[in-house]
Structure 1
């Protein structure tokens, strides 16, 4: 009998590709949604890449509520805890994102350990293993933990760090045989399955559409969503992955390089892409006086911190594809879905 994997947050961008790759690998999949009304959208998205008939089931569960999680994990062999709150936290409520991420992870782990699930693979973020915002150069690995008290951390970055801390603390005292592994991805791009939830891919969409008239001096460690799904499955099955953190980052790429790749690689469809680099001072001024949403990115201006993925290569045999391929595949997928 095929083993069954629970993937949390099935309507999400990363979760969708995890479902696709698990089905391709022969697993049965159950995924959580916040309501039954979201099931068809997940099936439609997954069906663009693989036939899920008879092998994809659903459970209704929400990260903010205890109800549903025991039933969601019942009878499954593994859990990929991919779901996470996204978006900016309200200025008057800094815990608006932290609490769902941290408490949601604990809900999943409590139910998984009680049910005797073999292993939980939790999606964290490379930003949970990064140096202080004042550092501008260097290469770090999984042994480093981001300081959650750094005042420049965005709510998202703080939430991922605290959620992963809470998960490891919980597992240190948990009873039973369930194992935990965490995967820490960089900036996730690649093809989309649906236009309903494209996440960070929207950056490339804005570049191709020409609505981004210049690019800030920010570098990203680009990982393809297909490679991210692959490392989740490798981390789920490798005997040596139990109790480990794995960075899943790709090539460090300045946004100006991304823009040139799009402009040169898309032909006529890339003519609107701006390769003009916006001066750091201008970005800071706009963030301060005109667009407060930009304040979260100003600490990253000019930084070239990178992460080592040697551990993932060595233990899991994981090898991500080139960033240029990911960026172009992402753009072509957005164009094909008329998602600009």
Structure 2
């Protein structure tokens, strides 16, 4: 491993991180990835083999989580680059929003402090579209990297707060750091694409539930969708390209689909599942009323009927990044779930 440049990727069992590791290994890097427990190693190796990498000799898995600072020095020692993907996922039944916000901020700072001490060249932080769009009044121009979520606005979900505040903390740290450490961030819209195991991210659950017939009606939510393979490649471009230092990058195709349009894409691509897929929407007023009594609905209610146009111009122009279509990524998500037997066209 010493002959190859070492990249540390945090949260290696996650959906995005697994694809980043896959591409890094394919490009000849050595990878050290972190997981909350070393028991995640078999899952990580399983996903990488599913993705087509059979030689895992350049992979190391170590235990480190976002709630303790001590492990991060050892985790990052010797690295040329760090890609910090790990972050609390949306908790829909949280008791206090600090459960989501505090670990995200602390985790970013633990990683950046260790990276600074060990003279890492650049950290790439996986932020989110949630650090850009939330809390704004209706607009008629696409969201870009110049925009930050307004956390003073009413109704911003703690997940968006966690992403915004942790990214802000990262940029504040870099502004004061004197080690020469560079930072770039990637802010994906909803991430689709091939799942490599039946352990996958919250972004993909809507596809699984639609195909399984669990979603009878869908909220009136518009969203951008981007393929996880392209999100991974954008992270690596943000890691290696000189022009990426000090920059934010929206990972988006610039396309927007409603959830009903997503269902229709699946219906056309997978006719065996057509009868299970939703054909009606939930009125937003009804959804918001239900969300008052059911915390599980509050995140989706907060984005119902919201403007969601985004631009991929910066990543395309500055880094030469060209993502595949959102439709292709949605279909790839479903196909991978069918291939893994996560969902089946057979009657239950």
TM value normalised by structure 1: 0.96
Map Cα deviations across residues 232-259 of structure 1 (whole Å, 9 max, x no partner).
Answer: 0010000110011111122211111101
Map Cα deviations across residues 283-313 of structure 1 (whole Å, 9 max, x no partner).
Answer: 2232234x33112222322222322221101
Aligned residue in 2 for 1:331: 334
Runs of 4+ in 1 over 3 A off after TM superposition: 89-92
Aligned residue in 1 for 2:224: 221
Could you tell me how far apart the structure 1 residues matched to 2:63 and 2:260 are?
Answer: 42
2:261 is aligned with 1:260: no
Aligned residue in 2 for 1:63: 66
Map Cα deviations across residues 53-84 of structure 1 (whole Å, 9 max, x no partner).
Answer: 21110121111101211111111111100000
8 Å CA contact 2:157, 2:302 repeated in 1? no
TM value normalised by structure 2: 0.94
Gaps of 5+ in 2: 344-348
8 Å CA contact 2:115, 2:123 repeated in 1? yes
Q: Please, which of 232, 235, 240 is the counterpart of residue 235 of structure 2?
A: 232
Of residues 159-168 and 319-328 in structure 1, the stretch that sits farther from structure 2 once superposed is 319-328
Aligned residue in 2 for 1:212: 215
Could you tell me how far apart the structure 1 residues matched to 2:14 and 2:274 are?
Answer: 27
Q: Please, which of 147, 152, 155 is the counterpart of residue 150 of structure 2?
A: 147
Say how many residue pairs are matched: 339
| Cα RMSD for the two superposed structures | 1.5
Q: Please, which of 149, 168, 175 is the counterpart of residue 165 of structure 1?
A: 168
Partner of 1:246: helix, strand, or coil? strand
Shift of 1:131: 5.3
Partner of 1:180: helix, strand, or coil? strand
8 Å CA contact 1:138, 1:304 repeated in 2? no
8 Å CA contact 2:226, 2:323 repeated in 1? yes
Map Cα deviations across residues 153-176 of structure 1 (whole Å, 9 max, x no partner).
Answer: 111110000000000000111121
8 Å CA contact 2:17, 2:85 repeated in 1? yes
2:325 is aligned with 1:322: yes
2:280 is aligned with 1:276: yes
Q: Please, which of 16, 24, 27 is the counterpart of residue 29 of structure 2?
A: 27
Question: Which residues in structure 2 correspond to 1:73-152 (within 5 Å)?
Answer: 73-88=76-91, 92-130=95-133, 132-135=135-138, 137-152=140-155
Could you tell me how far apart the structure 2 residues matched to 1:100 and 1:52 are?
Answer: 34
